[in-house]
Amino acid sequence: MTVAISDEWKTLLSDEFYQPYFKELVQFVKEEYTSGTCYPPGKKIFAAFDSCALDKLKVVIIGQDPYHGPGQANGLCFSVNQGVPHPPSLRNIFVEIQQDLGKQIPNSGDLSHWAQQGVLLLNATLTVRAHEAGSHQNKGWETFTDHVIQRISKEKDGIIFLLWGGFAKKKAQLINPNKHHILTSGHPSPLSANRGLWFGNKHFSKTNELLRNMGKEAVEW
């Protein structure tokens, strides 16, 4: 089965592409994109992998599914295309970075510069039907992305996993805590953030401190 994903990730994940569930998933996604409007654009479905080189990987952030509004989703969790207004969760991420690191809130919500520094921005579900949140959940994507997390846990060392909200925290069971660092907090969505579960987690400074302690370059958030 041909999957348009960077070669190093393809090698790591190749066994999964031949599993029956993945073949069914590919067929489902093809039919969805043919019969209606889905996001992100087809060429961006695996953008999280194409934007973050496996040999540079040092941080993993886990989201749930892509934005479902026009022009928003670009294949990276929490990220939007340049020129698109910041969705509420992304806005709260930037506010926390401002409070934590003293950085100005950027005009662009495109987080590809994080990915290029080794931050895998991984949604659990990689596609969605327009205006229908969660419409591609439980079709096989979660099985695939759980496998991604398990493979990273097994094959890499010293990765920092940022698990925000109840959904992401459940992924901790896939990660070896003796090899990796796991930071958890509430989700940056307004519902969680306004209850005091997001702001003040200082995940961005904590991540950089951990990276420096491992002799790695800090992320320019």
Active-site residues, by number, are: 65
Parallel, antiparallel or unpaired: strands 59-63 and 160-164: parallel
Q: Residue 33 corresponds to which tokens in the numbers above?
A: 């994109």
Distances (CA, A) of 29 to 32, 105, 108, 128, 147: 5, 35, 29, 9, 19
- Which of 128, 150, 15, 17 has the alpha carbon at shortest distance from 70? 128
For residue 207, which amino acid is it?
Answer: T
Q: Residue 22 corresponds to which tokens in the numbers above?
A: 């993945």
Residue 120 CA to residue 51 CA, distance in Å, equals 8
Residue 141 CA to residue 125 CA, distance in Å, equals 5
Residue 146 CA to residue 25 CA, distance in Å, equals 15
Residue 202 CA to residue 187 CA, distance in Å, equals 13
DSSP character at residue 87: P
